[in-house]
Structure 1
Amino acid sequence: MKSDLITGLVGSGVAGWYLMAASQVKIFGGAATAGVNAQTIPKLWGTCLLILSLMLIFRAIYKYKQGEKGRSAREIIEGIRNKREVAYTFGLLILYAILMKPVGFIITSMVYVYLQIWVLAPVTARNKRMHCIAAGLAVFFSISLYFVFTKYLMVMLPAGILR
């Protein structure tokens, strides 16, 4: 119950911030009159996150009114330990977003993909071969995505220190 309430409140705050940021996305050309523009999808995602967060808050309040006993702090911490891949993934995503502009898309993406593969790989599979495969995939996909976005889709990505 407490975890639903905390998650819902944090999610609502993030959704509110995301919706404010989405409304500041620049709209180019004649897309503004078509009804669908550069702000449409970010606003849709932000609205979905807000709705899901509000559902968590209402569920926590409903459980509280029904008298359901919440989990103890020890149970919550143990649950987080059992799902630490989720916490690591959020941490990696935050670092990825923060470092994207100063370091650049290619290097940041290589590091992110490599570390994300390492986080999601089972502990028993973390060997030298897995590290080589993860490094190869990280390099291949980062450079490929940069090339596709900049050359074909005409989307400029941060070059960072590789200028």
Structure 2
Amino acid sequence: MEKIIIVIIMFIASTVLQAQDKRYTVFGSIDPGATYKDGFNIGVGVEYQMTYTYVKTQLFAFPDLRGKDYFEWTSVPFTSINLHSLFDEWRYYSGFKIGLIKREAVHPTIGFEAGIDRYFDNGFYIGVTSSEDLRTDGKEWEPDIENYWRLSTFFKIGVAF
């Protein structure tokens, strides 16, 4: 009986965890709160979405943020959850992020993101993502500052293939 239960668990796990292609996407994003407070910023990224997980990489630029150029590269490896509505017009997702921040020097960053996207029949989509990131670039502004967590919200528009 134990062997049958183990086989059933392995079958269910392999069925649920297998990569079933959904779509590739390309998107652009902005942080409107930061735009209002500190000026122009823009991001671009690509995603590979599967039935239950996704992989994502993005670049984000914030020229002249408080007198210094800011660039960020982050990626969501397979540490993610990806859910789709019945007809794929809605997508809900969450994932663990890793990356690097470039502000004169290079600083590591980690965090979590969660979001919702709305897909249209023509392949375009819009979405909102919230991200909580551990930032290690604060010493660029103040030498005595500790690493800190920052909550950001991004609006994005993209196209799915």
TM exceeding 0.5: no
TM-score range, shorter chain: under 0.3
Greater RCO, 1 or 2 (C-alpha within 8 Å, sep 6+): 1
More strand by share: 2
More helix by share: 1
TM-score for both structures, normalised by structure 2:
0.23
